[in-house]
């Protein structure tokens, strides 16, 4: 039996999305997402912990995130955990863990701007103000290290 690599997050963007393009012309949009949990400590004081996640989106989803999201936007993200390894200038191995978003739903009531729909899959309109973008069957392209814009 194979394993499962699935992440579901709801949070707010910590900064405006950054969009780049691979040498093959594929759109890649990255953004940081903050997720927070709150609880009462044993002393009765309210506590809060925030985790930051690096989110990567591709193609149509990347274009939609570029056009509709901004700092503070609330989103629902489904994807998988991806860990990248590289060597720094001193030759030390470094690692970065990112979320490769395969599905993004905008939870804010108003998008950043009115624009055309970039969705590769969108559910029936139920009058809800949110937008959905799905790349479940449209994962990241096969690219080499030379194609990665960062």
Q: Which domains, ranges and CATH numbers included, belong to the chain? A: 7-39+46-145 (2.40.50.140)
CA distance 104 to 79: 9
Report the alpha-carbon angle 101-73-8, nearest 5.
35
pLDDT at site 109:
73
Residue 118 near residue 64 (C-beta atoms within 8 A):
yes
Distance from C-alpha of 47 to C-alpha of 22, rounded to nearest angstrom: 42
> Which residues of the chain fall short of a pLDDT of 50?
114-130, 137, 139-144, 147, 150
Residues in a beta bridge with 34: 12, 52
Mean pLDDT of the chain: 82
Tell me the whole-structure pTM to 2 decimals: 0.72
């Amino acid at each position: 039996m194979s394993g499962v690599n699935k992440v579901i997050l709801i949070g707010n963007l910590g900064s405006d999305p950054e969009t780049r393009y691979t040498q093959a012309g594929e759109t890649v949009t990255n953004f940081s997402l903050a997720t927070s949990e709150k609880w009462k400590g044993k002393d009765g004081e309210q506590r809060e912990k925030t985790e930051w996640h690096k989110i990567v989106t591709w193609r149509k989803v990347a274009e939609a995130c570029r056009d509709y999201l901004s700092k503070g936007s609330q989103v629902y993200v489904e994807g998988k955990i991806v860990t990248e390894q590289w060597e720094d200038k001193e030759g030390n191995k470094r690692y970065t863990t990112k979320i490769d978003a395969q599905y993004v739903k905008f939870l804010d009531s108003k998008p950043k701007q009115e624009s055309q729909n970039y969705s590769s899959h969108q559910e029936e309109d139920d009058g809800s103000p949110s937008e959905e973008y799905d790349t479940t069957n449209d994962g990241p392209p096969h690219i080499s290290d030379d194609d990665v814009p960062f």
